[in-house]
Amino acid sequence: MSLRLSGKRVTLGVSGSIAAYKAVLLARLLLGEGAQVQPVLTRSAEQFVGRATFSGLTGRPAFTQMWDADHGGERHVELARDSDLIIIAPTTADLLARLAGGRADDLLTATALASRCPLLLAPAMHPSMWEHPATQANVATLERHGRARLLGPRHGVVASGDEGFGRMLEPEELLEAVIASLSPQDLAGVRLLVTAGPTVEDLDPVRFVGNRSSGKMGFAIARRAVERGAQVTLLAGPVRLATPLGVERIDVRSALEMERALLERADRADAVVMSAAVADYRPAELAPQKLKRQAESQALQLVANPDLLAGLGARRHGARPVLVGFAVETGDDQSMVQLARGKLQRKRCDLVVVNHASESLGRDDNRVALVDAAAHRWLPAMSKAELADVLLTELGSWLARTA
């Protein structure tokens, strides 16, 4: 399994907020993606989480002091030079003020001032502190300088029990922001529309007809596309997955709802990736009340849903948007490729990703074949995050050919 931050050097700054405990979780996530993590703490951060925690987790000393008699160089300059990215999580109101003023009165601010790499700030403070005009002026200064990117804060309950804007983003969200900042921006400016998950067709107010699609593949594609610079809209069927940072998400339920959402947006997209498992049929009638059991068996009349991918293919004039379809099949590899090629021709799409039902639904990994009009190739089993990257690289090639 490839790690998205393999070999990347990340300096993790921590300042004095109760949210500092989340920085420990962030460090673990960064390490899990292959990053080398160097902790740098302010003196007030040590009141919340000790240096030993970060040192034990990262295998590196957690620095706090600008001056060290045992160190001959300029530590802040070396840290700045050796960092591929600096993220400060949490970033307090005081630290925002010092960064906005160009202060370098401790190791963390001096390192940030000396750096030329991406600088990410994750504010965390009481809502009244965040809303204060002085804090907002400091935020505006940092944004005007263009050196730092602010992540959050978000609206929620803070440590005091009060509610408002001031809650730090979760470590998982911060990890995605780090990955995005260090990812190649080869899809910058591409407008991508992705469908994900199942659609469900209601029988009555209680029951529905559906399928077992988890939506994980579509969400992985949306996440990696944003990280690689694309503008992504995600049409999601009923799934319990977190919205990837930077993705516009539109929730739909039925095939007809997804069709309406697609038709409203497809003409503005450069590419459409149809990874959703759209129901082929829906009940002929929707009962207004719960259907009661009346016999040992009961026939259910179904009518066909529109074929969304075929509809997009028929509407398309020219080579845009590039259309990518998915097919979940059963059978051997050869028959699956034949079925995928038939789907490619019937639905007038550019690429079909075919996978076996037993090797895809609900899993975190996948084995697929990429099938176009000229050829096909089977990919080895890989995580859905890795597969998303392969598909997006393939999509980038199609976009370059149709530019």
Average pLDDT for runs of 10 along the chain of length 403: 85 96 97 96 95 95 82 82 96 97 94 95 97 96 92 92 94 93 92 95 86 90 94 95 92 95 94 93 86 78 92 86 87 82 89 77 75 88 88 92 80
Token pair belonging to 66 = 């600008």
Residue type, 4: R
Alpha carbons 77 and 61: distance in angstroms, whole number:
17
Find residue 195's DSSP bridge partners.
Answer: 235, 274
CA 385 to chain centre: 10
Q: Hey, do 9-182 and 191-290+297-401 end up sharing a CATH topology, with the first three levels equal?
A: yes
Would you state the pLDDT for residue 1? 55
Alpha carbons 143 and 146: distance in angstroms, whole number:
5
Alpha carbons 396 and 228: distance in angstroms, whole number:
11
Spatial CA neighbour of 81 closest among 44, 123, 38, 45: 38
- Assign residue 370 a region: left if phi > 0, alpha if psi is -120 to 50, beta otherwise? beta
Would you state the pLDDT for residue 225? 95
Alpha carbons 362 and 42: distance in angstroms, whole number:
43
3-state secondary structure of 288: coil
- Residues labelled as active-site residues: 211
Alpha carbons 160 and 133: distance in angstroms, whole number:
21
- Positive or negative CA dihedral for 221, 225, 227, 228? positive
Find residue 156's DSSP bridge partners.
Answer: 164
CA distances from 291 to 68, 246, 279, 370 (A): 76, 42, 21, 43
Find residue 163's DSSP bridge partners.
Answer: 157
CA 143 to chain centre: 23
What's the CA angle centered on 319, arms 318 and 320, to 5 degrees? 100
Domains of the chain, residue spans: 9-182, 191-290+297-401
Tell me the CATH class for 9-182.
alpha beta
Would you state the pLDDT for residue 113? 95
**Cβ-proximal residues to 267 (8 Å cutoff; 6+ apart), any chain:** 315, 321
Is the separation of the CB atoms in 334 and 364 below 8 Å?
A: no
Would you state the pLDDT for residue 381? 86
Alpha carbons 30 and 136: distance in angstroms, whole number:
29
Report pTM. 0.81
Would you state the pLDDT for residue 231? 96
Alpha carbons 17 and 42: distance in angstroms, whole number:
10
* CATH of range 191-290+297-401; options 3.40.50.10300, 2.70.98.40, 1.25.40.10, 3.30.70.3000: 3.40.50.10300
Q: Where are the alpha helices (DSSP H) in 16-65?
A: 20-32, 51-58
Would you state the pLDDT for residue 204? 84
